[in-house]
Amino acid sequence: GKEIFGLAAAENIHNLLIFHAGTKSKRGKWRTAGGRVLNLVGLGSDLPAALKVAYQGANLINFQGAYYRSDIGWRELARK
């Protein structure tokens, strides 16, 4: 798997939950193990605040071939 960078920094973000799925720890470093690698959940007083936290974490995490969806919550945001 590919080494995951920025995870330690993202873990320090207040109100950010990180769920591991396609990961494995090898010699003290997190690596990808296929599929959907991580799930980030931002908590906040409203949807924009929660999205800001989640994307702040997503922008810190990187590994070869990494990408994340930038359309989560758009329908609800459009309603406001």
CATH class for domain 7-71? Answer: alpha beta
62: which 2 tokens?
A: 């990187």
In the chain, pLDDT over 90 holds for what percent of residues? Answer: 86
| Cα separation values, 41 from 1, 17, 26, 29, 44, Å | 23, 5, 25, 22, 10
The rounded distance, in Å, linking the Cα atoms of 45 and 43 is 7
pLDDT at 29 over 90: yes
Domain boundaries of the chain, sorted by first residue: 7-71
Q: What is the pLDDT of residues 38-53, one digit of tens each?
A: 999 999 999 999 999 9
Find the range with the poorest average confidence among 31-35, 46-50, 70-74.
Answer: 70-74
